[in-house]
């Protein structure tokens, strides 16, 4: 495994994306948390010590810091306080007896306001394994559903989207029909200007979680500018040209905690909402590989969070995928909470009555760790340790399950974000690994 670790200062600067402004960005207060292992990683049984620093206007503050320590995403099992001396103190986090992450959660009240921070460190992370088991008929289930989907001829409309065309790229809005019920997904297709027949790798980009428009369609225009056809898709069959107000209304009506799409139909593997979403990934690849401009070799899937999960699902389902580029995948080891372990987004433990035996049977057919077992494509995966949306425990559960050529970019300080430089670097990695 090729492991790359950003330093704290570089990672924060990239996150801020404000080259002319110092960290912290427009805040008077700055927390620094420095583990005594530079890579934030320890072996089980080994103690982790964290130096905690707090500054105001860049000047050390002496104050009381309350803290609690917990396993990743779980309830705290230890708490205490320290007094900062010269703005500094050291906290002994202890250790873990089993592989996983510990989270140090900090809170200080200064000048009448409370400021919070946290840091996670890992223990024997190479030994983290998923709780979720693969059903015996896992691939049979999915292969049968793909076969049924393909019984409906591929059908789509393609309309030029002049608002996203530039002097270097052309853009089209596609509506792709998925099944006999005429359910569909929308996507923007970005082409290099005057793309020649048989010249372009194709890149499928599924979205992050939510019911929303395709945000910033031109954000990753550099893929098309560098010779690729890129497909930015949505998963709900909603025209991305609708107003933000309409998307907000739909999301409020159909994506509340009690009726969110990620829980819709989860009591039955055949009725679960995400079934057509996963199948749509294969259908999109069907479309992309029929384009005359496709180079006939390279099929890339790329995304973050839910999009990262869907990229791994696509790579696990479709052998045409040659590269899989993933940031902090969601939908990973979701049922682990039922055993008192760290689980992944959407954190079904927070919804009463969700982690039933029947629901967890369905989850197993949709959990990313089970698709990871079938990925053969070259894979490039990025995740941060401080992520509380897609926690590092579940990212390692995926990473350690992958049995394919793979490289990791580790950014420990990152929460649920990646920098523009990191995302551009993923394209550069892709270009170097084309077939």
Q: Render pLDDT for 230-240 as a digit per residue (tens, 0 to 9).
A: 999 999 999 99
Strand-pair partners of 171: 190
Query: Which fold, 138-432?
Result: Rossmann fold (3.40.50)
- Mean pLDDT, rounded, for 339-365: 97
Q: Where are the domains positioned within the chain?
A: 28-127, 138-432
Q: Where is average pLDDT lowest: 12-16, 143-147, 359-363?
A: 12-16
Tens digit of each residue's pLDDT (9 = 90 or more) over 393-411: 999 999 999 999 999 999 9
284, two tokens: 């999109």
Tens digit of each residue's pLDDT (9 = 90 or more) over 368-397: 999 999 999 999 999 999 999 999 999 999
Is residue 1 over pLDDT 90?
no
What distance in Å separates the CA atoms of residue 382 and residue 328, rounded to the nearest whole number? 6
Q: Where is average pLDDT lowest: 198-207, 244-253, 278-287, 367-376?
A: 244-253
- Mean pLDDT, rounded, for 423-431: 98
CB neighbourhood size of 103 (10 A): 23
The two most distant CA atoms of the chain are separated, in Å, by 70
What distance in Å separates the CA atoms of residue 408 and residue 325, rounded to the nearest whole number? 10
The pLDDT score that the predictor gives to residue 21 is 64
pLDDT band, very low/low/confident/very high, at 215 (cuts 50, 70, 90): confident
Strand-pair partners of 50: 35, 91
Instruction: Confirm or reject CATH 2.60.40.1930 for domain 28-127, answering yes or no.
Output: yes
What distance in Å separates the CA atoms of residue 279 and residue 226, rounded to the nearest whole number? 29
Q: Please list the active-site residues.
A: 305, 387, 416
Is residue 14 over pLDDT 60?
no
Is residue 13 over pLDDT 90?
no
Q: Tell me the pairing of strands 100-110 and 3-5.
A: unpaired
Helices 306-317 & 274-288 angle (0-180, nearest 10): 60
Chain centroid to Cα 152, Å, comes to 31
End-to-end CA distance of the chain: 20
pLDDT band, very low/low/confident/very high, at 257 (cuts 50, 70, 90): confident
- Mean pLDDT, rounded, for 211-227: 94
Residue identified by tokens 């974000």 is 417
Per-chain mean pLDDT for the chain: 94
Q: Tell me the pairing of strands 88-94 and 76-83.
A: unpaired
Answer yes or no: are the C-beta atoms of 288 and 299 closer than 8 Å: yes
160, two tokens: 């030029």
Is residue 415 over pLDDT 50?
yes
pLDDT band, very low/low/confident/very high, at 20 (cuts 50, 70, 90): low
CB neighbourhood size of 296 (10 A): 11
Tens digit of each residue's pLDDT (9 = 90 or more) over 99-126: 999 999 999 999 999 999 999 999 999 9
What distance in Å separates the CA atoms of residue 267 and residue 253, rounded to the nearest whole number? 21
Q: Tell me the pairing of strands 29-35 and 294-304.
A: unpaired
Q: Which residue has the higher pLDDT, 1 or 428?
A: 428
The pLDDT score that the predictor gives to residue 24 is 73
107, two tokens: 């809170």
- Mean pLDDT, rounded, for 145-172: 97
- Mean pLDDT, rounded, for 236-249: 94
| pTM of the predicted protein model | 0.94
**What is the torsional sign of CA 140, 141, 145, 148?**
positive
3-state secondary structure the chain: CCEEECCHHHHHHHHHCCCCCCCCCCCCEEEEEEECCCCCEECCCCCEEEEEEEEECCEECCCEEEEEEEECCCCEEEEEEEECECCEEEEEEECCCCCEEEEEEEEEEECCEEEEEEEEEEECHHHCCCCCCCCCCHHHHHHHHHHHHHCCCCEEEEEECHHHCCCCEEEEEEEEECCCCCCEEEEEEEEECCCCCCCEEEEEECCCCCCCCCCCCCCCCHHHHCCCEEEEECCCCCCCCCCHHHHHHHHHHHCCCCCCCCCCCCCCCCCCCHHHHHHHHHHHHHHHCCCCCEEEEEEEEEEECHHHHHHHHHHHHCCCCCEEEEECCCCCCHHHHHHCCCCCCCCHHHCCCCCCHHHHHHHHHHCHHHHHCCCCCEEEEEECCCCCCCCHHHHHHHHHHCCCCEEEEECCCCCCCCCHHHHHHHHHHHHHCCC
What distance in Å separates the CA atoms of residue 366 and residue 309, rounded to the nearest whole number? 10
Percent of the chain surpassing pLDDT 70: 95
The pLDDT score that the predictor gives to residue 5 is 42
Tens digit of each residue's pLDDT (9 = 90 or more) over 81-97: 999 999 999 999 999 99
Answer yes or no: are the C-beta atoms of 121 and 93 closer than 8 Å: yes
The pLDDT score that the predictor gives to residue 22 is 63
Which residues, in sequence order, are CB contacts of 156 under 8 Å at separation 6+?
174, 175, 176, 177, 287
Is residue 268 over pLDDT 50?
yes
The pLDDT score that the predictor gives to residue 15 is 39
Percent of the chain surpassing pLDDT 90: 91
- Mean pLDDT, rounded, for 285-310: 98
The pLDDT score that the predictor gives to residue 269 is 98
Answer yes or no: are the C-beta atoms of 159 and 172 closer than 8 Å: yes
Angle formed at CA 294 by CA 292 and CA 298, multiple of 5 degrees = 160
Tens digit of each residue's pLDDT (9 = 90 or more) over 40-59: 999 999 999 999 999 999 99
Is residue 434 over pLDDT 70?
yes
């Amino acid at each position: 495994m090729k492991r790359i670790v950003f330093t704290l200062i570089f990672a924060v600067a990239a996150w801020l994306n404000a080259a002319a402004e110092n960290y912290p960005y427009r805040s008077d207060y700055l927390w620094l948390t420095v583990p005594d292992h530079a890579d934030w990683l320890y072996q089980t049984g080994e103690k982790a010590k964290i130096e905690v620093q707090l500054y105001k206007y860049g000047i050390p503050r002496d104050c009381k810091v309350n803290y609690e320590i917990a396993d990743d995403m779980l309830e705290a099992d230890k708490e205490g306080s320290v007094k900062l001396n010269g703005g500094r103190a050291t906290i002994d986090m202890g250790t873990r007896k089993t592989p996983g992450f510990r989270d140090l959660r900090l809170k200080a009240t200064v000048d009448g306001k409370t400021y919070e921070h946290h840091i996670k460190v890992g223990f024997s992370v190479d030994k983290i394994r998923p709780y979720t088991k693969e059903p015996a008929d896992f691939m049979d289930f999915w292969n049968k559903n793909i076969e049924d989907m393909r019984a409906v001829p591929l059908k789509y409309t393609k309309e030029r989207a002049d608002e996203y065309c530039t002097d270097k790229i052309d853009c089209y809005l596609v509506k792709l029909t998925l099944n006999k019920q005429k359910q569909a997904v929308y996507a923007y297709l970005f082409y290099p200007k005057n793309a020649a027949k048989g010249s372009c790798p194709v890149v499928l980009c599924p979205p992050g979680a939510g019911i929303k428009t395709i945000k910033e369609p031109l954000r990753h225009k550099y893929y098309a500018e560098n010779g690729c056809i890129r497909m930015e898709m949505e998963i709900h069959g909603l025209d991305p040209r609708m107003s933000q107000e309409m998307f907000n209304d739909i999301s409020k009506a159909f994506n509340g905690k009690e009726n969110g799409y990620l829980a819709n139909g989860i009591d039955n593997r055949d009725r679960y909402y995400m079934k057509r979403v996963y199948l749509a990934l294969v259908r999109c690849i069907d479309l992309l590989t029929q384009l005359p401009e496709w180079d006939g070799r390279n099929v890339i899937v790329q995304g973050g969070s839910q999009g990262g999960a869907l990229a791994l699902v696509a790579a696990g389902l479709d052998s045409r995928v040659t590269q899989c580029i993933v940031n902090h995948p969601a939908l990973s080891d979701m049922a682990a909470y039922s055993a008192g372990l760290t689980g992944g987004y959407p954190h079904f433990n927070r919804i009463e009555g969700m982690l039933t035996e029947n629901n967890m049977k369905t989850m197993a057919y949709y959990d990313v760790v089970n698709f990871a077992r079938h990925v053969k494509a070259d894979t490039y995966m990025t995740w941060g340790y401080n992520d509380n949306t897609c926690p590092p425990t579940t990212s390692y559960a995926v990473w350690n399950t992958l049995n394919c050529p793979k490289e990791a970019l580790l950014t420990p300080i990152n929460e649920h974000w990646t920098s523009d430089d990191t995302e551009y670097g993923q394209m550069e990695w892709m270009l170097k690994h084309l077939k």
